[in-house]
Amino acid sequence: MNHPFLFLLSCVFLCALSSLANSESQRIPEDKLLVLTVATKETDGFRRFLRSAKHFNYTVKVLGRGEEWRGGDYMSAPGGGQKVRLLKAALLEIKSEDQIILFIDSYDVVFASGPKELLRKFQQAKHKVVFSSESLIWPDRHLEDKYPHVREGNRFLGSGGFIGYIPSIKEMITNWTGEENDSDQLFFTKIYIDPAKRKTLNITLDTKYRLFQNLHGALGECLNIAAETGDRAAGREKRRERREDEEKRDEDRRREITQDREEN
């Protein structure tokens, strides 16, 4: 997947131009941003992530290095709890209250613009925490009705990337007591779909890919900081298939019930 990576880098120039035209008065200084990521293994994808981070001068702290991964495989089942446990432990060690944390997957992500651009877009989102978005609901599609509607873009939360003020993120994960293989995405989803928590914690989704861009089928845009490639996109495809199977099963079942009723 080298090609999209290069493509995105070439976009940075344009993005930089657009940020010149948009200087904000109370900008968050770039040194307030800390990138946290979990990588138990040094995969090629992870090295690519680090190269892109270095290119843009992001400050990155890698969590879970050398640890055994017990968070599931994403492809067949939910998982990722281990990431939340590691994040929680890391945040407890950070004493400053004014930092901005970007927590992001690193095996299949590259940066496509710098910290300044990212912070500007974060500030424009006018929320304390911004999650990446997905077009499919996962892992529990029965929660769909509880999701607020969006006028444009993706409606569902993705836990592959989020950014926010450190006190809000600490608060958000304070109740995490899950297993290593519990779903991080379900954990964050349940917080997000709770209207009171969504409001108090001041969470929103990046529904229009302004901060987090999924590369899968979206190569025409360059308004992004982090782009997904590879495994996660493949996982998403698997989920789509699985979801279609589930829907078909439900549909068959409904049909059976209707038929039974008609026959009786």
Ligand X SMILES: *[C@@H]1O[C@H](CO)[C@@H](O)[C@H](O)[C@H]1NC(C)=O
Residue 139 in 3-state DSSP? Answer: coil
Site string for ligand X, 85-114 (x = CB under 6 A): ------------------------------
Q: Is 175 in the site for ligand X (CB under 6 A)?
A: yes
Site string for ligand X, 62-81 (x = CB under 6 A): ---------------x----
Which member of 146, 170, 197, 208 binds ligand X (CB under 6 A)?
197
**164: which residues sit within 8 A by CB, 6+ positions away?**
100, 101, 127, 128, 129, 130, 172, 203
- Cα separation, 182 vs 81, in Å, equals 5
Is 31 a binding residue for ligand X by CB under 6 A? The answer is yes
Residue 1: is it exposed, middle or buried by C-beta count within 10 angstroms (0-12/13-18/19+)?
middle
Pick 19 or 202: Cβ nearer ligand X: 202
210 touches 121 (CB < 8 A): yes
The CA distance from 211 to 169, in Å, is 17
- Which CB atom, from 11 or from 100, has the smaller least distance to ligand X? 100
For 150, the token pair is 């969006």
Helix (H, G, I), strand (E, B) or coil at 230: coil
Of the residues 38, 53, 110, 172, which one makes contact with ligand X according to CB under 6 A: 172
Answer yes or no whether residue 257 interacts with ligand X by CB under 6 A: no
Q: For residue 117, give both structure tokens.
A: 């651009």
Residues 122-151 as x/- pattern, contact with ligand X by CB under 6 A: ----xxx-----------------------
Nearest distance from residue 158's CB to ligand X, in Å?
Answer: 19
Is residue 202 involved in binding ligand X (CB under 6 A)?
Answer: yes
The whole-angstrom separation of Cα 10 and Cα 152 is 27
Assess 3 for contact with ligand X (CB under 6 A). no
- Find where tokens 């349940």 sit: 190
Q: How far apart are CA 209 and CA 43, in angstroms?
A: 26
Candidate ranges 10-18, 36-44, 167-175, 248-256; the one touching ligand X (CB under 6 A): 167-175
Q: Which stretch binds ligand X (CB under 6 A): 61-69, 99-107, 136-144, 168-176?
A: 168-176
Judged by the rule CB under 6 A, the positions of this chain that interact with ligand X are 30-31, 57, 59, 77, 126-128, 171-172, 175, 179, 181, 191, 197, 199, 202
